[in-house]
Amino acid sequence: MTDTGIRVEAATPDRWSDVVAAFGRRASRPDSCWCQRFRTHDQPSNRDELHREIEEVDVPVGLVAYVDGSPAGWSRVVPRASLPGVMQNRALRRVLDEDPSVWWVTCFTVRTEHRGAGVGTALLVAAVEHARRHGASAVEGHPVDVGRLRVATVSGSAVFTGTLAMFQAAGFGEIGRTYVSRPVMRLEL
């Protein structure tokens, strides 16, 4: 538990109901993203695939954040090489190196009532430690630079990969951009 009241734990099989709760309103829609954006699978739904992953993998693929004991958010952090949607993206390939020991933070979901309270940053900091414990040489992500967007109000779904401010707060540095509002961030471990 941090002094902010946020605790982050690995998404293990016994925490599946907490993962579902962390997805908030989208939990009732099995074909929502369920953190499958950069992956491929043959399960009936994205929800089924995430459930299968959490049940079957040796190293947890994600983390659950709790605020005062209740599920408040989720994040996926895995080896970058396991994500075809990242590895096959031409814009990202121009920025990324070939290091197979780099991990990638793909997404964040924070329940509406907990947004702006540091849950995303707590998940990111915990993701770095999770990756470090499992042998990562670095952690990367592809957040949104909200200050470079051309809209006055940014929806939560528009920043599912995190924000530049979150990554900077967690010690990441920019290594390039794929678009004016899309930095690629990296933290060497």
The alpha carbon dihedral of 152, 157, 161, 165 has a sign of positive
Which of the four pLDDT bands, split at 50, 70 and 90, describes residue 155? low
**36 versus 134: which is more confidently predicted?**
134
* Closest by CA position to 14, among listed 71, 72, 68: 71
Strands 182-188 and 173-179: antiparallel
**CATH number assigned to the domain with residue range 6-188, chosen from the 4 options 1.20.1740.10, 2.60.40.10, 3.40.640.10, 3.40.630.30:** 3.40.630.30
DSSP β-bridge partners for residue 174: 185
pTM: 0.92
pLDDT of residue 154: 64
What's the confidence (pLDDT) of residue 49? 94
Give the mean pLDDT of 44-71: 95
Pull the structure tokens for residue 58.
Answer: 């040796």
- Report the share of the chain in percent with pLDDT over 70: 94
- CA-to-CA separations, 32 to 28, 37, 45, 173, in angstroms, rounded: 9, 10, 9, 31
Q: Could you state, in order of their start, the residue ranges of all structural domains in the chain?
A: 6-188
- CA-angle at 176, arms to 171 and 179, nearest 5°: 115
